[in-house]
Structure 1
Amino acid sequence: MTRSDPVSGSDVLLVMRWSMRVAMLGLLGVGIVRLVLVPDQVSWRFSTGLALSLAFVLIYLSGVRRSEERPESRANRWWLATLTSLWTLLLLLNPEFTWVSFPLFFSHMSLLRIRHALVAIMCMLLVSIAVLGHDRGLSAGVALGPTLGAVVAVLVSWGHRALVDESESRQRALDALRETRDELAASHREAGQLAERSRLAREIHDTLAQGLSSLVLTTRNARACLDRVSPTDDVETACALLLQAEHTASENLAEARRFVRGLTPRALASASLVDALERLIIERRERTPQIRWELRIDGTPRALPTEVEVTLLRAAQASTENVLQHADASRVVVSVAFSDAEVTLDIADDGVGFDPDDAPGPDSFGIRGITERAEAVGGVCVVESSPGDGTVIGLRCPVPVADIPVAHVVEETP
């Protein structure tokens, strides 16, 4: 403990306990010295006094630590009764052993109930006054000394009890605080794990799962072409489809590597959001030439925070993949609007639509993932659809001016 550290309750208790030990042995030693120095001492009284004093010391030392650590033990009460009996015998041999009663008062207050301790102290006080009065003559001065000593001992004992209660209360509070801290840490770890699982689920759904789904459809079409009768045209078509499958597999492999490393999506590694969306529309046109794909830009495009660009790109990828798999649409319009404080993304199709209030559809996780992504950057996602009237998925993400970087260039790690 440094000088600047406050003295804790446990330190005060330790000092008080050692003080009582020293006081007990010191006062007993004073009684033994006075016993030795008394002239014309009867030999049996002297030898008996020394034997009782030695027994008192041994019994006191054997149980003092236990009495401090486990005051509620029944053995401590027998230990205290034995010491009190030995003190009474010593007092009858020599009145100088009266002063040993003061640390004994402290022990009674520590080990007994209050009313029992006060009764015992009162009895010991009366015995002390009677022995001193018989030896020196009964007077106010003879009675005052032991009485004041008993009062002081009781007050000090009450203070000791208050410190013990405060120390135990503080320890319970510390234990509860540690338990709460451990529970909070476990809760944070669990929340972090759930958040990470959700993030991984969104990333896998928006990248690898969609790419693999595209591979399944492409290879299925290629196999169907190879099974047809006209070999020349079908083989060329199958080769084109397999080339497209190879391209998709390469894209997803690159996404997987960047995903594991936690880097920016490949489409945004060296390009803006608008460039990435343009490439997405071109890829969708190549896959589904029967669908009319459009990209509209409103406002002045500018660099956005990376997390916002990733959110919008992933939303566009997931939404257009949903269109391919479920909408049966003939036209899809992807619109991006830039304003001073926000950016919006709308993906509209003229497909079969659905009822958003009905039970979740086969790709409900995709919409849920888009919503979670938008909420993670402080935005919102709104789904508007009805059976037969197409679907519009809209995202609105705030972009504070102070948070917009001057340049947005992410270098790819080799």
Structure 2
Amino acid sequence: MNHTALTPVFVGLRTSLHILFVALTVLVVVRAFVDGNPNAVAVVSLAALLLITYGFGGYLARHAMSSGASAQSVTAYLWALVLSAEWLVLMWLSLDAAYLVFPLFFLYLHLLPRGWRTLAVLGSTLLAIAALGLHSEWTVGGVVGPLVGAGVAIVIGLGYKSLAAEAAERELLVKQLLETRDQLAQTERESGVLAERARLAREIHDTVAQGLSSIQMLLHAAERADPNAAGLEHVRLARETAAANLADTRNFIRELAPAALVEQGMGAALRRLAETQWQTPEREIRVRVADALDLPMPVQTALLRIAQGAMANVVQHSEATQATISIERDDSDVRLTIADNGRGFDPERAEAASARGFTDSFGLTATRERVEQLGGTLTVESSPGAGTTVTVELLLSPTAGETA
């Protein structure tokens, strides 16, 4: 079993069971000599064999776990069967061996399949009661004692199974949380790099490229104003140098922007992501974006990252069978809409959970922060069982369709 917060509890229970089994076996041997049992030698030999079987069988059962469930089950069943047979013979030789039924209860509950556990406990209980009654006399304590012990063992066994199942679920949850944390960290690193590249592309576009373009136009105007002026060759050389530097700057901007957008355009980039990452046989993704969508590269980059973040939520959490991505623009703004028919959620509760540090709402919070940084608005319409619609609106400058 993997280490969890409940591992010390399981180790303590198993250790106590082993100690109880050994102690009761030693008690049987001591009582055989103290009471002058005529079968004392046979009792000692069989008790030693019982302890060897108990220890060696436990060793084999643990190592059978690495060979698969079937091998583990066969080894466990044989171990329980041999122990039971030896216990019956020992109980026939010494009545004190009847008390070994109590640790055997827990062994049956742990090793045998669900349908056989209770039958094995009840059967061994009846055998112990019969042995006590036949060897000495029938008493209320001799009947009620084993029955109460069997009931307590069943209750403790069920509790042990519940704790083990809960520990396994917690271990899986912790593993998933660690994987999610690593994925979020990787996504954050990638998003940070992409955001910085987009910021640099935007800054270069708005400063260096625009400045070089202005210098080129001013020099060209000076060249046309006085074609015969002295130093015209220097003006022409300066204009050509500015044009060459402007071309280099535009190449830098294209390299800083996502390659998929530069080579394919917004619509094709989203369709490629839908086909390769988001769409499955159980989930259909529709992309309604024009290939000739005319938007500045920084805006396209931002919309692409926002769409990726929103679709990550759809894929991981929504259980949707259909989702639609659409982008529409007019003269003043551009609108990105992602709608799915998934299980939906309560946006207010999701925001509150995110504020308390729960990671399930991290994607929504990150998307909202990105949109707010761009001066846009994010609207989430959803309710449990009614799907989700995420709408992002970004304002465009009057020259949004132009490039430097």
TM-score range, shorter chain: 0.5 to 0.7
Distance 1:250 1:99 in 2: 95
Deviations 1:327-371 (A, max 9, x none): xxxxxxxxxxxxxxxxxxxxxxxxxxxxxx99566x943886999
Q: Secondary structure at the match of 1:138?
A: coil
Match of residue 52 from structure 1: 46
Equivalent position of 1:88 in the other structure: 88
Match for residue 20 of structure 1 among 17, 21, 24: 17
* Structure 1 pair 111–392 and aligned structure 2 pair: CA distance change class (3 A): closer
Query: Shift of the alpha carbon at 1:123?
Result: 1.8
Question: Could you tell me which residue of structure 1 aligns to residue 177 of structure 2?
Answer: 177
- Aligned positions, number: 269
Deviations 1:172-217, CA, capped at 9 Å, x for gaps? 2222322333333333333333322322321333344445667877
Report Cα offsets for 1:288-347 as digits up to 9, x if no partner: xxxxxxxxxxxxxxxxxxxxxxxxxxxxxxxxxxxxxxxxxxxxxxxxxxxxxxxxxxxx
Deviations 1:53-87 (A, max 9, x none): 22221221223366579586321111111111111
Distance 1:153 1:91 in 2: 20
CA distance in 2, matches of 1:141, 1:103: 19
Match of 2:165 in 1: 165
Q: Is the 8 A contact 2:43 2:93 kept in 1?
A: yes
- Report the secondary structure of 1:378's partner residue: coil
Counterpart Cα distance in 1 of 2:90 and 2:27: 12
- 2:154 equivalent to 1:154: yes
| CA distance in structure 2 between the partners assigned to 1:79 and 1:133 by the alignment | 28
**Identical aligned residues as a percent:** 29
Matches of residues 74-85 of structure 1 in structure 2 within 5 Å?
74-85=74-85
Match for residue 7 of structure 2 among 5, 10, 14? 10
- Normalising by structure 1, report the TM-score: 0.53
CA distance, structure 1, for counterparts of residue 62 and residue 17 of structure 2: 11
Which residue in 2 is equivalent to 1:365?
Answer: 297
Q: 2:58 aligns with which of 53, 64, 71?
A: 64
Q: CA deviation at 1:218?
A: 8.7
Structure (1 or 2) with the larger CA radius of gyration: 1
User: For the Cα contact (< 8 Å) 1:121–1:150, is it kept in 2?
Assistant: yes
**What letter is aligned with 2:51?**
V
Q: Is residue 115 of structure 2 the alignment partner of residue 115 of structure 1? A: yes
On the 8 A contact 2:212/2:245 being kept in 1, the answer is: no
Unpaired runs of 5+ in structure 2? 249-289, 302-331, 335-369, 377-393
TM-score by length of structure 2 reads: 0.54
| 1:254-293 per-position Cα deviation (integer Å, ceiling 9, x unaligned) | xxxxxxxxxxxxxxxxxxxxxxxxxxxxxxxxxxxxxxxx
Q: 2:30 aligns with which of 18, 29, 33?
A: 33
* Partner in structure 1 of residue 283 of structure 2: none
Change (3 A) 1:115 1:392: closer
- Give how far 1:103 is off: 0.7
- CA distance 1:382–1:181, change in 2 (3 Å): closer
Identify the residue that residue 188 of structure 2 maps to in structure 1: 188
Structure 1: give runs of 5+ residues left out of the alignment.
1-6, 254-356, 386-390, 394-414
Deviation at 1:110, TM superposition (A): 1.2
RMSD of Structure 2 on Structure 1 (CA): 4.5
Q: Which amino acid aligns with 2:92?
A: L
- Tell me which of 239, 261, 278 is aligned to 2:234: 239
Alignment partner of 1:378 out of 371, 375, 378: 375
Q: Is the contact made by 1:108 and 1:120 (CA closer than 8 Å) also made in structure 2?
A: yes
Aligned to 2:357: none
Tell me how far apart the structure 1 counterparts of residues 245 and 197 of structure 2 sit (CA, whole Å): 25
Say yes or no: does 1:145 pair with 2:145.
yes
After superposition, the C-alpha distances for 1:8-43 in whole angstroms (9 at most, x for unaligned) are 43332222111111111111111111122231x43x
